[in-house]
């Protein structure tokens, strides 16, 4: 495991206070999976009637817990969530499947929930067998001490190379009744050093049917977790689960079965905000990151093309190293636009750094103020905008710079 790093300079200045969400309780403990002297296991207990939705890594080699969750999420019901750090249980073959089964069995015994309603996630080293029997002693204690205000402990227990816990919360009205949404995430790079995974868990007391919940989640990730990149590397374990306990029904919130129900408008917006906040926090903890970069692409043939161009820019090592060097190197942005393979025309392209247009119609913009751009490039947060001048497609993605620290963190000897 990499040595403890100082907190990312891009970390939010404060950690948000998360209010209780009816129907959810948390506990964290130390099972000794890999780390010493810290918590590495988190249990969330979910009241009966909780619905669940999930999105997972697109990797063709997903981890054993991803396979488990993907199969279970179809049932739409959840009673518990068990997450460990220190071992990703990825590329562990049959041993991995056995570890998942044993984990579910132990969690079921400790919580009284049916195994098929237990959700699992693991993050940490790849390819080492996970000894799930280590959960046996700790799970009953966690089930007993779980409390509604255990958010921060839960968020901390799932960290690997993260330099800070990532939490977010919002409220929304559904048909006049206030409901809460809150969640936490981990990830510092699509994969942290020798560690796998971006994990995020979001909870609400809203009463929303599982199908509708899945639709809401799948839509919301497009502009948040699917619009961030640290290093273009896709984890074997990416997991985002959304749990709705329905406890707000007791306070008069309607039970809603359709994702396009207009009464969900505010909820949808709040969910978008929570996911985007957590996704941004992951980028802000990107390995070695010193700059948070927003990339907007406009004027593309369509939104899909815009996103592909935006990600091509966001993933370009040459763009990312230029930003690390505080260099408004629009030549490299042109290169990244060109390599995306989408329709582009040199002579229509315009590029802005932090609102200053540096290139226009196939040429350097001779009018631009070098000193102003220099100042912009020194900031922690940099906005890069590209207008392709072709159509109406647009997209927004976020990334961080590529620094020597990224290489140092990821090039350290594993042993």
CA distances from 247 to 19, 24, 99, 259, 392 (A): 14, 9, 32, 18, 42
Please say which residue, 163 or 329, places its beta carbon nearer to its own copies. 329
Taking CB under 8 A as the criterion, the residue among 346, 369, 375, 379 binding its own copies is 346
Piece of the chain touching its own copies by CB under 8 A; list 167-175, 204-212, 256-264, 354-362: 354-362
Please say which residue, 258 or 364, places its beta carbon nearer to its own copies. 364
Residue 362 near its own copies by CB under 8 A: yes
Catalytic residue among 39, 57, 197, 236: 197
Please say which residue, 36 or 58, places its beta carbon nearer to its own copies. 58
Q: Nearest distance from residue 359's CB to its own copies, in Å?
A: 7
CA distances from 15 to 11, 19, 164, 166, 321 (A): 9, 13, 9, 8, 29
Active site annotation includes 197:
yes
Q: Nearest distance from residue 224's CB to its own copies, in Å?
A: 19
Q: Which H or E element spans position 122? A: strand 118-125
Q: What is the DSSP letter of 116?
A: G
Residue 286 near its own copies by CB under 8 A: no
Q: Under rule CB under 8 A, how many of the chain's residues touch its own copies?
A: 72
- Closest to 124 measured CA to CA, from 198, 209, 28: 198
User: Which residues in the 302-341 window bind its own copies by CB under 8 A?
Assistant: 315-318, 321-322, 324-327, 329-332, 334-341
CA distances from 207 to 76, 263, 355 (A): 13, 12, 43
User: Which residues in the 90-109 window bind its own copies by CB under 8 A?
Assistant: 90-96
Please say which residue, 18 or 322, places its beta carbon nearer to its own copies. 322
Q: Nearest distance from residue 5's CB to its own copies, in Å?
A: 16
User: Which residues in the 113-152 window bind its own copies by CB under 8 A?
Assistant: 125-128
Contact assessment for residue 122 and residue 237, using Cβ atoms and an 8 Å cutoff: yes
166-174: strand order across its sheet: 51-56, 239-244, 199-204, 177-186, 166-174
Structure tokens at 294: 């927003």
Hey, is 216 helix, strand or coil? helix
User: Which residues in the 46-75 window bind its own copies by CB under 8 A?
Assistant: 57-62
Piece of the chain touching its own copies by CB under 8 A; list 36-44, 172-180, 201-209, 229-237: 229-237
**Which residues contact residue 127 at a Cβ distance below 8 angstroms, ignoring those fewer than 6 apart?**
90, 91, 92
Please say which residue, 207 or 336, places its beta carbon nearer to its own copies. 336
Please say which residue, 279 or 402, places its beta carbon nearer to its own copies. 402
Task: Please tell me the distance from the alpha carbon of residue 313 to that of residue 300, in angstroms, as a whole number.
Answer: 14
Residue 369 near its own copies by CB under 8 A: no
User: Which residues in the 176-215 window bind its own copies by CB under 8 A?
Assistant: 189, 191, 194, 196
Q: Where are the alpha helices (DSSP H) in 316-399?
A: 317-324, 330-339, 370-378
Please say which residue, 247 or 344, places its beta carbon nearer to its own copies. 344
Q: What is the DSSP letter of 149?
A: T
- Kindly give the pairing relationship between strand 393-400 and strand 292-300: antiparallel
Structure tokens at 165: 């816990």
Structure tokens at 326: 């505080």
Q: Nearest distance from residue 221's CB to its own copies, in Å?
A: 17
Q: Nearest distance from residue 414's CB to its own copies, in Å?
A: 5
Residue 3 near its own copies by CB under 8 A: no
Residue 82 near its own copies by CB under 8 A: no
**Which residues contact residue 216 at a Cβ distance below 8 angstroms, ignoring those fewer than 6 apart?**
53, 208, 242, 259, 264, 267, 268, 271
Q: Nearest distance from residue 4's CB to its own copies, in Å?
A: 19
Contact assessment for residue 42 and residue 185, using Cβ atoms and an 8 Å cutoff: no
Q: Nearest distance from residue 234's CB to its own copies, in Å?
A: 4
Hey, is 56 helix, strand or coil? strand
Count of residues in the chain: 415
Residue 408 near its own copies by CB under 8 A: yes
Q: Nearest distance from residue 34's CB to its own copies, in Å?
A: 14
Residue 220 near its own copies by CB under 8 A: no
Residue 9 near its own copies by CB under 8 A: no
Structure tokens at 396: 């927004």
Q: Catalytic positions, please?
A: 197
């Amino acid at each position: 495991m990499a040595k403890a790093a100082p907190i990312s300079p891009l970390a939010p200045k404060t950690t948000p206070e998360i209010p209780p969400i009816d129907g959810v309780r948390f506990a964290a403990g130390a099972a000794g999976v890999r780390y010493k002297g810290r918590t590495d296991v988190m249990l969330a207990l979910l009241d009966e009637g909780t619905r669940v939705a999930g999105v997972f890594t697109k990797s063709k080699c997903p981890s054993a817990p991803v396979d488990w969750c993907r199969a279970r999420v179809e049932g739409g019901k959840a009673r518990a969530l068990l997450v460990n750090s220190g071992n990703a249980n990825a590329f562990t073959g049959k041993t991995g499947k056995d570890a998942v089964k044993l984990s579910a069995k132990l969690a079921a015994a400790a919580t009284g929930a049916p195994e098929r309603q237990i959700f699992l996630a693991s993050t940490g080293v790849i390819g080492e067998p996970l000894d799930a029997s280590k959960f046996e002693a700790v799970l009953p204690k966690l089930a007993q001490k779980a409390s509604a205000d255990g958010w921060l402990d839960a968020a901390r227990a799932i960290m690997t190379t993260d330099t800070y816990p990532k939490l977010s919360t919002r409220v929304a009205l559904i048909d006049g009744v206030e409901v809460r949404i809150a969640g936490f995430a981990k990830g510092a790079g699509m994969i942290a050093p020798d560690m796998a995974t971006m994990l995020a868990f979001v909870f609400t007391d809203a009463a929303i049917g599982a199908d509708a919940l899945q639709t809401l989640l799948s839509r919301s990730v497009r502009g948040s977790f699917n619009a961030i990149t640290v290093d273009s590397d896709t984890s074997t374990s990416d997991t985002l689960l959304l749990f709705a306990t329905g406890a707000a029904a007791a306070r008069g919130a309607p039970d809603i079965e359709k994702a396009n129900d207009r009464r969900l408008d505010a909820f949808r917006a709040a969910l978008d905000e929570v996911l985007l906040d957590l996704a941004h926090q992951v980028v802000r903890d990107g390995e070695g990151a010193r700059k948070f970069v927003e990339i907007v692409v406009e004027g593309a043939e369509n939104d899909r093309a815009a996103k592909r161009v935006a990600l091509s820019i966001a993933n370009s090592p040459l763009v990312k190293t230029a930003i690390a060097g505080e260099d408004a190197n629009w030549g490299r942005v042109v290169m990244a636009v060109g390599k995306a393979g989408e329709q582009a025309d040199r002579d229509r392209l315009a590029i802005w750094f932090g609102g200053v247009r540096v290139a226009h119609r196939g040429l350097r913009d001779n009018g631009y103020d070098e000193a102003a751009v220099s100042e912009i490039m020194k900031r922690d947060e940099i906005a890069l905008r590209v207008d392709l001048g072709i159509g109406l497609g647009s997209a927004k993605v976020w990334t961080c710079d590529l620094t020597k620290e990224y290489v140092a963190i990821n090039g350290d000897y594993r042993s």
